[in-house]
Amino acid sequence: MIPIKRMLAATACACAMYALHSVAASAQYATGPYVSLGAGVNFPQDADTSGAGVDTDYIFNVGPAVVGAIGYGLGHGFRVEGEINYRSNDVEKASTGIASGNFSSWAFMVNGLYDVMLGWPVTPFVGGGVGAAAVSWKATVPGSAVSFDKTDSRLALQAIGGVSYALTDQLKLDASYRYFQTTDPVQNISTGKVASQYRNNTILLALRWEFDAPARP
């Protein structure tokens, strides 16, 4: 006679495997239009700032990030989308002394993404994007009367990786990491040109609504 404990364990294992299979089978490639909206936190890398007698690194506090996108699923895992995003970070300090200020950006990106169907409860995705960013940087310079206050338009690039989970046939929950970078913003001051850096690590949670999503099996 099979012990009761073994029967219960086998039954629980079978139920768990069935549940995982059902969730995995429910994953479908995105086809047709979709919209997404997300928010999270961003962690800027130190900004090496130099030129015209200025030579310092700005160090930032963690800040908010928001993103919205309109996209289209092409089938077979491929997606394209247009995205608008915003990031903002206060200056914590500079490598050469006390400083204050804020760096922020609005960016418009065109992204290409690929959903990797592995039969898991979540669907990994990878991608990248290119676009334009308006980088606003306001900061004081330690030990100097010089300060910055300008918005500069720059080329922007990003790499994307994450996972999605199907909440319903049409609604997906996306968790993603993004590395975002622009070409160096430049600012003119009385003694010449100063260039800085804008590089960022971002973690986001987003909801994605697929208008023509097929019904889950």
41-69 pLDDT, tens digit each? 999 999 999 998 899 999 999 999 999 99
Please check the confidence at residue 18 and state whether its pLDDT lies above 80.
no
pLDDT of residue 188: 85
79 falls within a domain: yes
| Cβ(59)–Cβ(93) below 8 Å | yes
pLDDT of residue 161: 98
Q: How many domains does the chain have?
A: 1
Q: How far is CA 165 from the centre of its chain?
A: 17
215 falls within a domain: no
Lowest mean pLDDT among 6-10, 29-33, 80-84, 172-176: 6-10
Average pLDDT score over residue span 150-166: 97
Q: Which of 187, 102, 184 is nearest to 140 (CA)?
A: 102
E strand residue ranges, 45-170: 47-51, 54-60, 63-75, 78-94, 101-115, 123-140, 147-166
pLDDT of residue 23: 42
pLDDT of residue 121: 93
Q: What is the mean pLDDT of the chain?
A: 88
20 falls within a domain: yes
CATH number, domain containing residue 113: 2.40.160.20
217 falls within a domain: no
* pLDDT level of residue 24 (50, 70, 90 thresholds): very low
49 falls within a domain: yes
Paired with 209 in beta bridges are 35, 171
State how far the Cα of 141 lies from the Cα of 194, in Å rounded to an integer. 11
177 falls within a domain: yes
Domain range for 91: 4-210
State how far the Cα of 102 lies from the Cα of 9, in Å rounded to an integer. 57
Please check the confidence at residue 16 and state whether its pLDDT lies above 60.
no
216 falls within a domain: no
pLDDT of residue 35: 98
